[in-house]
Amino acid sequence: MTEEQVTKAILNILIKNEWKIVAYDFPQSGSGRMLRPNDNISEKNKGGIVPDIVAVKNGLCLFFENKDRVVINDFKKVSALINDNQYSNAISALLSGYNVDKIYYGVAFPSSKWNRKAETNAVLVDFIVGVTADMKIDFIYNPNKLCA
């Protein structure tokens, strides 16, 4: 299963469940929204990140970083979004016009790729979504009891 398939499966479920898609990015497409760090006022893309999916519903916002396998650096990147305010200006700008009370940040990958490495690093993110072979999603790690 490719990263694009993971992204499409999640988008389909979110749309079916009436989430508003704020932004999304397919691998190597350049279609997403770049979030620049607060201190980046002169260097165009330095330190920028592009979330794979940003969706809102009922005051909640979900940020997804999707992969075709478990990538520990993505857990660390998402953890930085959770714990640092480095991108707060860009996130505020992206979500302006939406009523957002709480933001959750997570990773997604094929369910079959869940492994000890992912389990050990789950505490770095707010949620982990697995995409099954039949393109359904499953919250693998979901301490906040989120649902699509």
pLDDT digits (tens, 9 = 90+) for 54-78: 999 999 999 999 999 998 999 998 9
Cα 112 from Cα 132, distance rounded (Å): 7
- The confidence score (pLDDT) of residue 147 equals 74
For 33, half-sphere exposure in the C-beta direction (CA atoms, 13 angstrom radius) is 17
- Confidence tier at 148 by pLDDT (50, 70, 90): low
- The confidence score (pLDDT) of residue 43 equals 61
Convert the pLDDT of each residue in 6-48 to its tens digit.
Answer: 999 999 999 999 999 999 998 776 678 888 888 766 566 677 8
Residue 23 near residue 51, CB atoms below 8 Å: yes
Residue 107 near residue 74, CB atoms below 8 Å: yes
In terms of C-beta density within 10 A (0-12 exposed, 13-18 middle, 19 or more buried), how is residue 89 classed? Answer: middle
- From the candidate CATH numbers 3.40.1350, 1.10.3470, 2.60.120, 3.30.56, the one assigned to the domain spanning 3-141: 3.40.1350
Where are the chain's structural domains? 3-141
